[in-house]
């Protein structure tokens, strides 16, 4: 199989890495933990609940930084963007920005450009 170079990245290498991650049981539990943390956003009634949900999400990413990947990136970006709504208190904004920083650190210089368009929507509306 020949690999295709798209935007400076090797698509075949990326697909092989994704396949190896999805077969890893620890990675699958990481994806499940992210999904569970994202579900916490659905049950929020006030801004303090948002801070708690953001903290849970941040802890999941912190505990699984070794994978260098952000599962459910579209949903994560959407939730973080919602937490930066101007009507919300400053504390929610700070927690959301701290979570963004952690995600960017996990992705690093190599992988961040591939997902930056998702996260930029919330940071630069």
Examine the pLDDT at 19 and tell me if it is beyond 80: no
Alpha carbons 122 and 102: distance in angstroms, whole number: 15
Q: What is the pLDDT of residues 48-67, one digit of tens each?
A: 999 999 999 999 999 999 99
The model's pTM: 0.82
Percent of the chain with pLDDT strictly greater than 70: 84
Domain locations along the chain: 31-123
* CB atoms closer than 10 angstroms to residue 45: 7
Tell me which residue has tokens 């930029």: 120
């Amino acid at each position: 199989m020949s690999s295709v170079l798209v935007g400076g990245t090797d698509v075949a290498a990326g697909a092989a890495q994704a396949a190896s991650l999805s077969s890893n049981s620890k990675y699958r539990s990481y994806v499940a933990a992210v999904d569970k943390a994202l579900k916490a956003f659905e049950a929020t009634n006030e801004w303090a609940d948002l801070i708690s949900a953001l903290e849970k999400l941040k802890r999941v990413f912190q505990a699984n930084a070794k994978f260098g990947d952000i599962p459910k990136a579209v949903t994560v970006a959407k939730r973080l963007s919602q937490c930066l709504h101007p009507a919300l208190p400053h504390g929610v904004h700070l927690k959301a920005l701290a979570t963004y920083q952690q995600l960017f650190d996990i992705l690093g210089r190599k992988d961040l450009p591939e997902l930056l368009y998702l996260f930029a929507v919330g940071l630069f509306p």
